[in-house]
Amino acid sequence: MKLVTRKMHFSTQGNSEIINLTNTVKKYLEGANLNSGLVNLFIPGATGGLTTMEYEPGLIDDFQQAFQRIAPEETEYLHNLTHEDKNAHSHIRASLVGPSLSIPFENATLQLGKWQQIVFIDFDNRPRKREVILQIIGEG
């Protein structure tokens, strides 16, 4: 068993922008020279989440509307009374979706479903520069 660590860097617009990370993860996996194992992704930050979805323009919009219903931006939040960033809703959405995700690979290939893509959702309410940490644990 070996461990390979890589970091992805990218910019986002925030406001629940959904970034498709699948091709970058595939590229790093190909470079890792491992046959089977687990890819673990983590966002070091409290206002972003990692999950999988069908990356389709209609659904991207539907997701953003759904998060607005689940944790609305405009509700009265204590965090927003004491913090200038007014992003309590970003925090709540991020903690619900979660900061980590694990995906298996075999024959050096991610075992995703046909329409399933790896996404980062930036719930913050402003543009951000983001880092996602990728760990590949597996055998050659």
Q: Which of 93, 123, 106 is nearest to 37 (CA)?
A: 106
Residue among 15 and 95 whose Cβ is closer to a copy of itself: 95
Q: Choose the binding region for a copy of itself from 9-17, 21-29, 69-77 (rule: CB under 8 A).
A: 69-77
CA-to-CA distance for 37 and 96, rounded, in angstroms?
26
Helical segments of the chain, H only: 22-31, 57-70, 78-82, 88-97
Q: Is 116 in the site for a copy of itself (CB under 8 A)?
A: yes
Q: Is 14 in the site for a copy of itself (CB under 8 A)?
A: no
Site for a copy of itself in 27-46 (CB under 8 A): 36-38, 40, 42-46
Which residues share a beta bridge with 85?
none
Residue among 15 and 60 whose Cβ is closer to a copy of itself: 60
Q: Which of 11, 102, 109, 127 binds a copy of itself (CB under 8 A)?
A: 102
Using CB atoms within 10 Å of the CB of residue 69, give its burial: 0 to 12 exposed, 13 to 18 middle, 19+ buried.
exposed
Q: Which of 23, 27, 62, 109 binds a copy of itself (CB under 8 A)?
A: 62
